[in-house]
Each structure stands twice: as structure tokens, then as C-alpha cells.
Chains A and B, each alone.
Chain A
Amino acid sequence: MIVTVSKDDERYLQLRRTRNARFPTTDADAVSGIELCETADDVQAALQRAVSAGKRPTVRSGGHCYEDFAVNNPGGVLIDVSKLNTVAAAPGGGYQVGPGAMLGEVYKGLYEQAKVNIPMGSCYTVGAGGHLSGGGYGLLTRQQGLSADLITAVDILTVRHNGTVEMRHVDAHTDPDLFRALRGGGGANFGVITAFYFAELPAAPRHLTSGGVTFPWATMTEDKFIQIAQTYGHYMATRGTERDTWPMFTMMALSHKTERGRINVSATWHDMDGTNDLRVPTEFLDLFLKCDTQVAELKDPQTSAHAPSGGRFQMTPCVEGKHRWNTKPWLEATVDGNSGGIKGYGSTRGKYKSCYMKQNFTAAELKKMYAWLTRDIPEVDTGCVISVDSYGGAMNRPELAHSTAVPQRGSVMKLQYQMYWSNPAEDAVRLKYFDDMYTDIYSANVAGKHAGTPFPGDYYEGCYINYPDQDMVRYPFWPELYYGTGKLYPFLQGVKKKYDPNNIFHNSMAVRT
């Protein structure tokens, strides 16, 4: 059954929103109505109704889009597929995941059914619809690949030239071009996805163990900052590429300087076989011992009372070979805390940017990062963070670049720039600061017309389409940042022309024809 929520309905203001409180930008940008669908047939009917009425349809699954793609749709129709949340065995074998399923539900459902896993992201409430079609990565990506790498078929509603909506079941044999495009190219370009299929899935780990080191901003210097970041980057670019390290996910949170702030480095180990051998993450954390000069002053670093909550971080220096680890059963650790807020509708405003890195950081790049992270926006609590995630491993198999729409198969780190606030009056100043910061940092190693961006080259491999950033469209070459400099973007343009000839599915960063 379709529930239609129009402007005069008291649910309208709640349901026209997304997780990011910046959107819809204004009332005039909002949709004219929301179609809450329960089944693929509902979606087909709602989509046909919108197209026939000359209205622009946009699609929402989990509502976690970083930009305005789904909910800034003036006068248009928002097709909500969050109730299509099946996580089940697929008819004929394998597994089926509805686009509306939240990642936490997918982890839980697949584990309970068959102890298997899709290597997805870490936020419980992100929706499969946007996440899987845009690539989808997380803690197990180095070990098991991207979520999109494992998709073997997709059900998608597309719109023909004459406006007729039709259901397609696409895979490597049927509409293989569309199938490839949907494995990481961003679903919102081509139609409405109503199901993902996975013929086989890897086993879920047994346990998840995490630990970390933390460096206070209070004693931070530029040299130390560079040393910490380069220690991290060097590992990822060298030892971190070796097979035995792939079950490890690492993260370095380069947070903006505050009085009590810290820079945290964490290691998370996936126990795949029940041995929970922690040698690899121990070796990794040991590297950071050299980054702190206070060794003599701390008697029992492993139990420091200053460690952040959760017990996952310890003050450096810590004792070589011994770290304070926190081990939990994998499922419990993965769906822990239902993170992300109920249904993902938050009151927080956010802005994000991304960068794929092929090499360690350069000192010039880190000096710029340090300068920005220690610079404040006047009268605003600047609070932003550059999260540096480990990357590569299983997802760096070059052949996957040709069977999916994710061209970045040579990176060892993936950066996510994040800024959060709640006061709309701060939008302009924050967005400008954030943009200036990023542009400056990516002018350190990139020259000429690509300066200001992590353009694919020796250092970088562009940006992640699931972390879309509208600032980038000011560069005429923005598609190359997201889809590489090879033939992928022209390929996606061809797919777009063929399967969405009317450009029904568009947004500011959709594939343009």
C-alpha cells in the first residue's frame, strides 16, 4: 500500500526531511509530497504516477545522503522505499537485501540467517539503497572488498523514452552495462532500486577487537603532528598492503584543535578464525610509541584515567607489545549502540568531503592540515575532523575496476572531512572555511588546473561518490574526481542515455549527458 503524504498532512514536515538538517534548503526547495511505499509494485505505481504527471521523482532509502539529492526537489515527489527492508534468502539461492534495510538490520539479518556478511559501513541507520549502489565500504573492506563488489544482481525500475516505468532484473548477463553502473556508480542516476542480490557472501568474523592510542592537542606541535600522520601513512602504504594485515581496519582522527582535544589512532582487528591473534594490530600501535616524548612521565599508560570513554584508546606512550584491547563478539560490536539516531533523521547540520590517497602524506600537505586544524573560525566552535581510514586490501584487485563502477583500486587510505553544527546562521561561514581548508590542503601536492582537488595522479585517486560534495562541481573535471580519468564516466553517460533517456533521475551531481 502506498501512503501519500502531501503538504497539508501533519506528517509532511517530518517526512520531507533527511538526516542532514541542512536539507531541504528552503521550503520552496522541498518536495510537494512523499510516497511511502511498501512493495516494489508500490514503487512502480508511485514512480509511474510522478512521471506521468510531469513531476520529478527523487528516491530515499535511509535518508543519509550528504547532499540535497533526494529532498531538494521543488514541487517534485519523494519516493520513500524505507519499508522495502527485506533481508532474506533469495529465491533460487543467495541473499536478497531491500534498499530500505538499514545497515544494522542487514548485518544482523545475514548473521542470524547464515553467519555471513556484506562488508558495509559502520553506521547502523544508513540505508542499503544509497550505500550499496554508491560503493559501500567499512571496517571489513580490506578483508572482503567493497559492498558493491559482491552484488550479483539488482532489481531496478527504469523509465522508457515514452514514460513507461518498467522493472528490470539486471545482472552480468541481462543488461550487463546497467548492472556494472549500479555497482558503485550511484543508484540515483538510473532508476529506483527495489532489491539487491548476492549469490555468495563471505563469513562474518567471530570477534572484533579494538584499541588505540591518543595524543592530546595540549602538547601537540607541528613536528609531532607530522610524525604521527606520517607514521600512520607509511604503514598503510607499505606493511598495510600485505595480506596478513587485511583483517585490520585502522582510523586516525585528525580533529580540530581544542583545549581538551586529542588526535586518536585506532586499530580494529577482525578475528576471522577464532584465534584472535593480535600481533598485527599490536605491531601497528607499537609504531606510535616513538611519537610521544612523555614516556618517562607516565607510570601505567595502559590504564590511564585520561583515556576516552569506551576504553578503546590509551594515552601514549603505551607499553610496547601491550595495549589495552577491547574484544566483543563481532555482531554485538558491529551493531553496537544503534548509532546514527532513530531512522536517521537528525537535527545536525553536516558537510563532508573526501579523498582517496595512494601514498603516505607529504610534509607540505600535513603542514597545511596542521595550520587549518589549529585555526579557528572567529566566534564559532570550529569543530571539524579529518578521518583517515585504512583502505585497499581485497578491494584493490585491479580487475574490479572493470566489472564495477568504482575506479579507485589503488588507494591505501580514504579520508573523510567532516564538520557538524546546529545553528543555521553558521552555514555560510562554516561552508566557506571547510571549502577553503580542503582547497588549500589539495594545493600542496597538486599543481596547475587541478590544484585544490585530489585529482587522480601520483598522490591521489579522487573522491568517493557516496561522500558527494557539491563544491566540486565548480571544476569542469569533477566527474574525473569521482569516476576517474579513464573510460568509466563516458561509459556511465552511455548507460544513462540508454536507461534514463529522459533524464528523469537527476541531481546536481548525477551523471550528465
Chain B
Amino acid sequence: MKRNWTRREFGLGAMAIATGAACSGAGAAQWERKESGLAFVGSAPANEPGDGSIHLFRTAGERWTALGTVPAAAPAHLLLHPTLPVLYAVHRVDTWNHLPRGVVSAYRVDGHAGRLHLLGTQPLSLSATLPRHAVLTGGATHLFVAAEGGGIYNLLPVAADGSLLAVSAIHKEFGMEEGGLAKPAAPNSVALLPNGALLAADAGLETLTRFTLVDGTLRPTHRLRVHRGEGPRELALSPGGRFAYTTGAATGELRRHRLALGNASDEVALARRFSSPLAPAMAYVPDAISLLQV
């Protein structure tokens, strides 16, 4: 990976990275990860929301070659469909088409030409502003989005071609009051658990919440208070799903939580200040936790 990107190169603001590779054989529909392939970097300038872009790179080991840039509202988070050549972007905006809501879009990845084609853009529900993170549910049937601004989770069905359909379920959180202080909910990171449930980190509620999909609706089925006083910001699972790792929203403290039946338990603090509390993403790599920073 090219190590010397700077904030200046991509503009100030959030940045998102997704990597993958289009199969070189015929039939670009097949999609697998391998050493060489494509990488996508989203940049969402904080000062000019709506002026973001997605940068495409051809990767070969450590070497990345820029292929081009696609304008995109404010792609704060990017993720790939597990089987289709489709990239999803979560745009961290507080207004879309003049209404108070965030937006997500889906792109078809043309691996041969190294291009992105917009499949469609879907607004989130009213008041689901400043979405920050998303994950695909099991079987990639839905996109589960955390909208920090409105304290809202949205679920959007994924069509057969990977494009996104209109929001089908909404869960609106409320905040908390403690010791005379009040905080609004602020869902900011989500993950898919091996049992198909969803795990969400909320810096406002200071919780890890497990959601289950029941008859198409989102139900919180377990909550654990974590990072008391600051709340969790980033969330990553170990590959087998035995542990969830979180960072504290203010201190950056890294904690590990054991997962049993999708319920998290508060466990050990691994590091006091793991990284900048502003780091936008955290990913688990096989032998360590590494934080991708810009």
C-alpha cells in the first residue's frame, strides 16, 4: 500500500478505503480478493460536503497506480459486495436533495477498464443524517447503515444486481442522561456477526448493541455499556468472530470484547491510546489490529 498519502492529497475530512480485485478471466461478475486488483479510496472534504470523490487504483502488491477519480457526494465509508463487482459508498452528508438525510450509493465496478458506473443512489430516512459506516448483512441481502447525526440505523435491501433499494427498516435511538449530563445517540460503526446478527457501536449511548432482523424490522436484542464516559467509536471483529475490538471516542483506548452468541462482554483494555481518536476506520489483519489512518 502506498504509505505517503497525506490529508492534503485527498482534502480534509473523512476518508474511506476498500480494496478488492476483479477476476481476470471472462465474466467480470465474479469477484474475489487477491494480491493484485483494484483499490478504492473515498475522500469527503469536511468543509465542502458534496464535493467528495472516489479514487481508483490498480494495485499490484505494494504498487498502486491511479486510474481515475469519480465525483461522489461525501464517501466517508466504502465497502464491497462479497460476490458481485459492486462498491457501496456511505456519504457523510446532513442534507440530500434539500432534505435532512444522508445518502448511500452503489457502483458497478468494471475491473477491466478500471471504472466505476453509478448503479444508483438511495437517500436514507428523514433525519438519518451524517451516516458514517455500513455493513452488508448475511448473504448481502441488505445494507445496514449507521447514521450518527440522527441517531438512526437504516436497512436497505440489496437487489440482485447489487443496487440498493429504498430504506425498508428504520431504528431510531434516543440518548442517555447520567449525572445531570445528557448525550444524544451517535451510532458510528457496525459489524456483521458470524451468526447473522449485527453489532453496532454508539458513542453517545456508550454501548455495543446487537441487532437482529425480525420480520424485516431491526430489533435491538442485547446492549452492553462500553467505554464509560466516552463511548466507542470504531468497531472491528476478529475473523472468526470471537472478539470485537473497539476504540474509545475520546481517548482512543483499545478494548477487546469477547463475543458469545453475538452478545459482547466487556473485557480487557489492550492499549491506553491506540491511535488518534479521529481515525476513521479500523480493520483486523490476521496477526494484529491495524488502524488505517489518513
Which A residues fall within an 8 A CB radius of B? 28, 51, 54-56, 74-76, 159-163, 473-474, 501-504, 506-508, 512
Contact = CB atoms under 8 A, between A and B. Distances in A.
B125 interface: yes
Nearest to B171: A54
Interface residues on B, range: 20 to 34
B174 A502 contact: yes
Given A56-B170, A503-B150, A160 B127 contact: no
A160 B170 contact: no
A163 B170 contact: no
B173 A54 contact: yes
Interface stretch (B22-30, B78-86, B176-184): B176-184
Contacts of A512: 100
Contact of A54 (B100, B167, B168, B172): B172
Interface string B83-104: 0000000000000001110000
A371 B96 CA distance: 34
Contacts of B120: none
A74 B125 contact: yes
Given A75-B217, A506-B126, A512-B100, A162 B182 contact: yes
B184 A56 contact: no
Interface string B164-196: 001111111111110000111100000000000
B151 A502 contact: yes
5 contacts: A54-B220, A160-B182, A162-B177, A502-B185, A508-B100
Contacts of B127: 56, 503, 506
The B contact surface, by secondary structure, is loop
B126 A501 contact: no
A474 B98 contact: yes
Contacts of A160: 177, 182
A506 B129 CA distance: 12
A160 B182 CA distance: 9
A501 B167 CA distance: 24
A44 to B, nearest CB: 16
B145 interface: no
A163 B170 CA distance: 17
A77 to B, nearest CB: 11
Contacts of A54: 170-173, 218, 220
Give the top 3 A-B pairs by smallest Cβ distance, nearest first: A163-B174, A161-B182, A54-B171
Interface in B148-174: 150-151, 166-174
Contacts of B166: 28
Given A54-B220, A56-B170, A74-B170, A507 B126 contact: yes
B99 A473 contact: yes
A507 B125 CA distance: 10
Nearest to B174: A163
A162 B174 contact: yes
Nearest to A478: B98
Contact of B169 (A75, A163, A502, A503): A75
A508 B169 contact: no
A503 B173 CA distance: 10
Contacts of B176: 161-162
A51 B217 CA distance: 15
Nearest to A503: B127
Interface in B2-19: none
B105 to A, nearest CB: 19
B175 A501 contact: yes
B184 A55 contact: no
A436 B220 CA distance: 46
Nearest to B175: A161
Nearest to B167: A74
